[in-house]
Structure 1
Amino acid sequence: MTSFSRITLLAAIACLASSAVSAADHGSEAEVQEMVKKAVALVKSVGPEKAYKAFTEHPDGAFKHKDLYVFAYDFNGECIAQGANPKMVGKNLLSIKDVDGNAFVKGMIDLVKASGKGWYGPYKFNNPATQTYELKKSYCERGAGDTMLCVGTYFEK
């Protein structure tokens, strides 16, 4: 086998292995819904401020699992918790759009206002693990007052 063939084969194996690992690292729909239920329960038990801090900082790891994390918005579009990127907290993202022009934060808020809970998506979001835009869907439930708590997962490739 030539050096080029070996390198090509090793690259192909590495790609396949990373695909298998990333698929295993995706949270399931059941795990998404379970995390949202736990988030809603925490807001009720300790209050919004302490809960939002736990979602953003996840000191005990309860709200960070595989590629799953909690994010929360008020109904005006202000980010009030973000388990993957704490720098987003305090920013109004109501009009943010994905690469296809989909105002996904507004869409999630509209869904929760109308139904109280449900799945929103698909929308394209930058996956921090792959640094590429991938299809994602999120499950959201109404939180305290005019807020929503969500967890999303990427579609399997």
Structure 2
Amino acid sequence: MVEGGDFLECWKWLCRKYDDIKDAGKLKRWIVCGLWRIWKCGDSVIFEKLALEPRVALALLHQQWRKIEKCGGDKVMQPCFQVQGRGEIGGGWTKPPFQTIKLNCGGAWCKQTGQGGFGWVARLVFKEAGGAGNILCESSLMADVEAMRAALLACWRKALG
């Protein structure tokens, strides 16, 4: 059983429990991959009205894990597109400069209820994460902006603290 009242508390509990074991980093990557796959399966049901069979979801998880293993944990590929001219788009991940805080932010919104939620993760200079649900929003863009606002406020508090 996992302890904690929200995702961040559960994650901290898992880290404390398994940090001392061999290959703790690998275990945490497996957990994150599994949670991401569950999230994607939920999105398929909600947005595409398509329920994946558990064996298909597991096959996708294994495929995702093989890609992560290929990179050897050195860096995680993340899409980053820049316009190169005349409609051409280049992709690839570039490591941010030294002493840069990398923020990943995302929001979600339900038009019918007017409620949204968001999550964010800060990496490189310090590691922290946060999020909120059941917030009133007028659009998915507003939920994304709330995620960015919360992440920037946390960085600001960390710098002053």
TM-score normalised by length of structure 1: 0.30
- Structure with the higher helix share, 1 or 2: 2
- Larger relative CO (CA 8 A, sep 6+): 1 or 2? 1
- Structure with the higher strand share, 1 or 2: 1
TM-score normalised by length of structure 2: 0.29
